[in-house]
Amino acid sequence: MHSPTLSTLRRWGLLLATTGLLALGGCASVYLVDNQVQSFAHWDAARAPAAPQAYRFERLPSQREGDAAASQDALEALTRAALARLGWSLAEPAASAPWAVQVTADAMRLPRPPWEDPWDGFGYPGRSHFFMGFGDPFWGSGFMRIDTPYHQRKLSLLIRQTASGQVVYETQAAHDGVWHSTPALWSAMLDAALRDFPAPPAGTRQVNIEVPR
């Protein structure tokens, strides 16, 4: 009997690795979005306004044109849903609103998790748009290797008092992981950022959100 060739062993290894990943993925019905959250409240007279409240969105100049505007539309739709769960609603276009909400999101795609040894020397980090996809795996030379893209994401939400322009609420959520960008993942980050609204605890805290697969 002939011994398996190196190429055959590699194909077997790929098959086993792929089967294992599929099996692991099929066993879990949710995945965890763990967020580092920090929030600051500066409401007038030391009292947060009781719901319901009306607001309008504000945008930076860089969020008003082209692909950035389309991404901002999607982000604001998710933010609108998250705020609605707290009793805040978007004001009608012609109506005034006491509050203005500004939301931003940013994602950095790395070829692999930072702690992995990049022995093959391939891949470079690159900044993505808001709904960056999972990306394609690539192969190193010599031994079989699958690199899983790694994503670093940050989300920030500000609430201003319309009359004075003063920032009365600021919150940020950061999440790193291998999960690809989906509306559900960004929605989970928004819910984490708004946890304990409108009177958050001081300091950085971890907020975990489970997202259905």
Tell me the CA end-to-end span of the chain in Å, nearest whole number: 45
Q: 201: closest CA among 164, 162, 171?
A: 171
pLDDT digits (tens, 9 = 90+) for 117-175: 655 544 444 444 444 333 344 444 444 456 688 999 999 999 999 999 999 999 999 99
Half-sphere exposure of 47 (CA within 13 A, CB side): 4
53 pLDDT band (50/70/90 cuts)?
very high
The pTM score is: 0.73
- Report how far residue 80's alpha carbon sits from residue 88's, in angstroms, rounded to the nearest whole number: 8
- Rounded to the nearest integer, the mean pLDDT of the chain is 80
- Report how far residue 34's alpha carbon sits from residue 173's, in angstroms, rounded to the nearest whole number: 9
How many Å separate Cα 201 from the centre of its chain? 22
Contact, 37 vs 206, CB < 8 A?
A: yes
Domains located in the chain, CATH noted: 31-212 (3.30.160.670)
Instruction: Please report where in the chains the tokens 């697969």 appear, as a residue.
Output: 213
